[in-house]
Structure 1
Amino acid sequence: MTSQEITTTRFYNVGIAALILLLLTVMLGLYLGGQTRSQFREVEASWTDYDGDVGQKGVWISSLRGYLGYGGIIHNFKNYVLRGAPEYFERTGEQIEQFNATMAQYLDGNPREDERTALLAIQAIIDQYAAKLPVARDAVARGLSLEQVDVLVAVDDSRAIQALVDLEAVWQTSRAISTSRMFAAVDQGQTLILIGFVSIGLLVFAALSIGALLIMMLRDMRGSMSLLSDELVRRRKLEQSEGRLASAVEQSPSTIFITDTRGRILYANRRFAQLTGWTSAEVEGKTPKFLQTGDTKPEVYEEIRKCLGQGKEWHGVFRNRKKDGGSYWVETKILPLIGPDGTVQNFIGLGEDVTEKRQAREQVARAQKLEAVGLLAGGIAHDFNNVLTTIVGAAHLAALDAPEGSDIAMEIEQIDIAAQRAQSLVHGLLTFARREPGKPQAINLCDIVREVTRLLRASLPPTIHMTCADEHGKFLVMADHTHLHQIVMNLCRNAAEAIGGAEGSITISVTKLSQGLLEDQKPRPEGWVQLEIRDDGPGMSLETRKHLFDPFFTTKPLGKGSGLGLVVVAGLVEEMGGTISVESAPGEGACFTIRLPGTSQSEAVPEITAKDIPRGHERLILVDDQPEIAATFRRVLMRLGYRVEAYTSSVIALEKMRADPNAFDLLITDMVMPEMNGEVLANLVRDHRADVPVIICTGYNPSGISIQGAPVIVLNKPIDPLDLARQIRWALDSAKAHAATVPAGAPT
């Protein structure tokens, strides 16, 4: 054993001995103090008992003895019976009242059971005397003989005398006990005084012993200080080195955590706490399993365990969970820490937050997807709308010839519904790609709801019931008719698909909201109109609602959904200046709430019904490179009374117009044609006749149309024949009205 170890051992031995002596001294002092205080309390209690309870009872007993003895109640009562003097009667009555007061005090003083028995016996006898006192007064007043009076008022007071004797015996016993307690407490106090003197001697001895031990300890400490000085210098250098390492780890921009060989976390740095939200104290002793989001496959964790078991490091990317429920992406490297003996002692995990990098890549990928959708939409819009135009036109012609209410009429209506749904899909693609702007106007939202429900009811299964709470109301909003139709159609169709083949219902309601109800929106004098589409389908989880409006996100099976419907709806609502929200929970259905700006403007011209189709007899020239479209439009317009010449070549149509510019009253032309597009054709025609009305039909117009002269009418394919007829009539009538106001010979 070295000298330092010997010194340290002696230091501890001396310290332990001094501590034991000190503890013994303190314990002895505490014991003596406690015993002394206890004896003083005993003396005080015994004296209180002797002087208080026992002494007071002695006073009461003495009073009772006086009331029962000579000159007391019994004595005065008997003197009144013998002598009949009134003073004896009055004195007896006063003494009975004093007796009762004394007896009440005694009974209220919580006497013992034997005392209470004796007191009640005495009370009973005195009560008899109190009851006999009026009888005695009456007998004396009547002048009865002593023998007669004695018979009437005779009382056996032997029980009272015996009870008083018993009561005095109890009191004497209590007094003797109190006296003995007092003497015993005094004797024990004298014993404690003796023990105290002995203890003082022991304390002096203990103090001297502790002093000697302290001197020995100081001597040993001087020797130890010199040995510890060098040790402290070495440790200070080591601590500085460890402090620099700990500071570097704590301030590292990467997350760092250390676990034992069983995966329990021993340390986590500051960056880990900042990124995850869990403090180091909260994660100590836990495994990193609480960070898992469920995105990582079990095979990956098995690979980690295998690599670490072989002493190799593992590198990969995790999507981890934060304390607040959010998530983050971290590029992680996990490696074993090898001890001096070559065994794995700990594992360390190093992580770099790559959330922003991944989000940037996802945004680029999303932008590329959007661009691809835009290119796709522009590529198919023209051709697909041409096909739909033919279908819509042919369905209209067939509907004119079909008997009303017949099976063929219903089938034709189904064809029209399918064509309009296809048109809605094309509009959705174009709108999503921001390639088809809307034309806001004052529209009654209830008209759109009625139109959509009419179209959907024919295609919904009989198990789904659709109701409109405000079907005949009038709520005007500023919106594009086509876009508004698309919003309601998409949401209703989604609700129907969510219900599927089960029994269910879809409820549509439209209400007017005052500006005070919308705290999150700016106040508007015209207010807001709220559209609610509610279904009792299976509902959605919280995770599904988070991604509901993300592009290409869908819960439908592969090939059943594009993931663009709700994205288009959200984009259209935002473009109209409104908001969209959804409330849903699994098993509780879903409710989409849309709030659109109301308007005080006049309602737009309502759609013309089949009975109000405007007709005419003017000559029209029709140009479209698709023969089926040209033929369909020609048949429709000829059924309306117009004289129509149709051409599939824009060059031939231009030559026809140049040959005789006044031969035709209106030009109807397609926009995209191989030889010459509709814009060029219209400008060349107006070079020869500036006042000719022009209607351009387009399936896709990304850059707008610029034509000289009067404004032209642009109709988006597929064109409803009713709308085409109305626009033709309006254009012809406007041209005639303009010509009537121009003076003869003036340039047009």
Structure 2
Amino acid sequence: MKRKLGTRCLYCLLGPFAIGLFLGALFWVGDSIYGYVAFAARVRFLLFEQPLSLWDSFWARIPPHDLYIRVAFIVVAMVSALIVSIFLLRRSQAQERISFQASLLDAVNEAVIVTDPSGEIMYWNPAAERLYGWSQSEAIGQNIADVTVPAISQEMANEIMGKLRSGMTWTGEFECRRRDGTIFEAYVSDTPIYNIKRELAAIIGLSTDITERRQMELRLRQAQKLESIGTLASGVAHEINNPLMGMMNYAELARDRIDDVKAQGYLDEAKIEGRRIAKIVSSLLSFAAPQSEEHSPARVRDIVEQAMSLVRSHIKRSQIDLRVDIPTDLPNVRCRSGQIMQVIINLLTNAVDALNARYDGFHEDKQLVLSARLVSASGGDRAEICVEDYGKGIEAAALDRIFDPFYTSKCRTKGTGLGLSISYGIAQEHGGRLVADSVEGEYTRFSFTLPTA
């Protein structure tokens, strides 16, 4: 860098002198020719008392006043060239500084937008192109409100512009609009820029997409909520278990003390229902229990049965024809059973909602199939669990987005949009896959694969 600057300074010094000498030489030659052919040649003849040649006029016998004029011209030319060179150098340096500063703004990951006081865009960096979808050539010259501000934020945008024009800075979260019309939340920092007359010259704004951060915050809150629900469920399950065991023991004692066969049958049914409640409580405890870091071998059939014990009554109330096909010889899988239960419960719940959305009440086509099988893959055998329903199906345009966080086709009171996203993450964390296949108005099939133990 220093060598480059030194070379540039040397050029700055030598350049003006070279230009001045060149201009002086041109003047010298021109004046010599003029002096030879002009009337002044006769005057020189009288002064020197002999004929004057072109060489005499050029160099050998220059009249003193001509010599002074020529030397003065050379000096003036060199000084003028030096002044012009310094001016051009400073202008070049200023342009380089501006270009360097612009390159710095271009390299910033945040969207940087500069507008004039009326809101007309003057600068639009590459990050702004990526964030908003407008190219620099398309954005510059447009009003910022027409490019980035959705209708729902127009009133707030007017308030912000009023504050900026009064000299205040503004920082906060703001809903912005991309070129395709999608709305996203951004963290925006706007600062007014003044000229030397203390007049508002421009407004520079930095925008950062905080959608992912907000999603993480919502996920964290949802996880905390689920943790609280799990703690509550665990506590309730333990509270149910103790009196339940007492009821079953009392039913056993009562059965042994009576001879009425019909009454004994009732008590046997009570014990059966008690064991069913105990099984549900056990499944609830398994679902709510904290998961260890280690994956352990587990039977797919056992996991499915535990999940079914928690949703079977919901399926029954919805008058759905449930078909379960889980082979007994299916190999074990290495997993966290509680998390796999969570995936199955979520898929079954979604299937029930889809069937209820298509059929109100009983219908012969209101069917739900839960099956499992062994499939071969390049990385080894895998257990595949399928949940298939014949409900309303999924739109083709939405099929690629169903695993996105917070995407849901349900109303907000019925779904958070996190179920499939969490299930997808669990599948990946277990080294498996969760894929969806659907035809709108016909069926939806979710396939969940897990490596075998």
Q: TM-score range by the shorter chain?
A: 0.5 to 0.7
Number of the residue aligned with 1:348: 203
TM-superposed CA distance for 1:351, in Å, is: 1.4
Number of the residue aligned with 1:493: 349
C-alpha separation between the residues in 2 aligned to 1:451 and 1:364?
Answer: 31
Residue 507 (structure 1) aligned to one of 360, 365, 368: 368
C-alpha separation between the residues in 2 aligned to 1:577 and 1:327?
Answer: 34
1:593 aligns with 2:447: yes
Number of the residue aligned with 1:385: 238
The change in CA–CA distance for 1:385 and 1:234 in structure 2 (over 3 A counts) is same
C-alpha separation between the residues in 2 aligned to 1:472 and 1:303?
Answer: 62
Number of the residue aligned with 2:102: 249
Identity %: 17
SS in 1 for 2:171: strand
The change in CA–CA distance for 1:281 and 1:444 in structure 2 (over 3 A counts) is same
TM-superposed CA distance for 1:312, in Å, is: 4.2
1:95-123 alpha-carbon deviations (Å, 9 max, x no partner): xxxxxxxxxxxxxxxxxxxxxxxxxxxxx
1:245-269 alpha-carbon deviations (Å, 9 max, x no partner): 3422331346432234553423223
Residue 315 (structure 1) aligned to one of 171, 176, 180: 171
The change in CA–CA distance for 1:451 and 1:371 in structure 2 (over 3 A counts) is closer
The change in CA–CA distance for 1:573 and 1:385 in structure 2 (over 3 A counts) is farther
Number of the residue aligned with 2:388: 533
C-alpha separation between the residues in 2 aligned to 1:350 and 1:327?
Answer: 18
Contact map agreement 1:293 1:319 (CA 8 A) in 2: yes
C-alpha separation between the residues in 1 aligned to 2:262 and 2:430?
Answer: 41
Number of the residue aligned with 1:460: 317
Contact map agreement 1:452 1:488 (CA 8 A) in 2: no
The change in CA–CA distance for 1:322 and 1:419 in structure 2 (over 3 A counts) is farther
TM-superposed CA distance for 1:478, in Å, is: 1.7
The change in CA–CA distance for 1:368 and 1:307 in structure 2 (over 3 A counts) is closer
SS in 1 for 2:102: helix
1:326-372 alpha-carbon deviations (Å, 9 max, x no partner): 99875433345556787655x4323164859x84x976886687578
1:71-93 alpha-carbon deviations (Å, 9 max, x no partner): xxxxxxxxxxxxxxxxxxxxxxx
TM-superposed CA distance for 1:546, in Å, is: 0.5
Q: CA RMSD in A?
A: 5.7
1:578 aligns with 2:432: yes
The change in CA–CA distance for 1:273 and 1:563 in structure 2 (over 3 A counts) is closer
C-alpha separation between the residues in 2 aligned to 1:597 and 1:280?
Answer: 49
C-alpha separation between the residues in 2 aligned to 1:232 and 1:457?
Answer: 87
Contact map agreement 2:355 2:392 (CA 8 A) in 1: yes
Number of the residue aligned with 1:720: none
The change in CA–CA distance for 1:232 and 1:458 in structure 2 (over 3 A counts) is closer
Contact map agreement 2:356 2:391 (CA 8 A) in 1: no
Number of the residue aligned with 2:288: 429
Contact map agreement 2:386 2:445 (CA 8 A) in 1: no
Contact map agreement 2:326 2:371 (CA 8 A) in 1: no
SS in 2 for 1:350: strand
Contact map agreement 1:258 1:265 (CA 8 A) in 2: yes
TM-superposed CA distance for 1:374, in Å, is: 4.9
Contact map agreement 1:534 1:589 (CA 8 A) in 2: yes
TM-superposed CA distance for 1:434, in Å, is: 2.0
Q: Which runs of 5+ in 1 are unaligned?
A: 1-223, 517-521, 600-748
The change in CA–CA distance for 1:473 and 1:423 in structure 2 (over 3 A counts) is closer
Number of the residue aligned with 2:11: none
Contact map agreement 1:445 1:477 (CA 8 A) in 2: no
Amino acid at match of 1:429: A
Amino acid at match of 2:141: G
C-alpha separation between the residues in 2 aligned to 1:282 and 1:487?
Answer: 46
C-alpha separation between the residues in 2 aligned to 1:302 and 1:243?
Answer: 36
TM-score (norm. length: structure 2) = 0.55
TM-superposed CA distance for 1:303, in Å, is: 1.9
1:455-483 alpha-carbon deviations (Å, 9 max, x no partner): 34763323x44445xx3755614247964
The change in CA–CA distance for 1:351 and 1:493 in structure 2 (over 3 A counts) is same
Amino acid at match of 1:428: F
The change in CA–CA distance for 1:391 and 1:283 in structure 2 (over 3 A counts) is farther
1:546 aligns with 2:404: yes
TM-score (norm. length: structure 1) = 0.37
Residue 302 (structure 1) aligned to one of 154, 158, 165: 158
Q: Which runs of 5+ in 2 are unaligned?
A: 1-76, 360-364
Count of residues in correspondence between the two structures: 357
TM-superposed CA distance for 1:488, in Å, is: 3.1
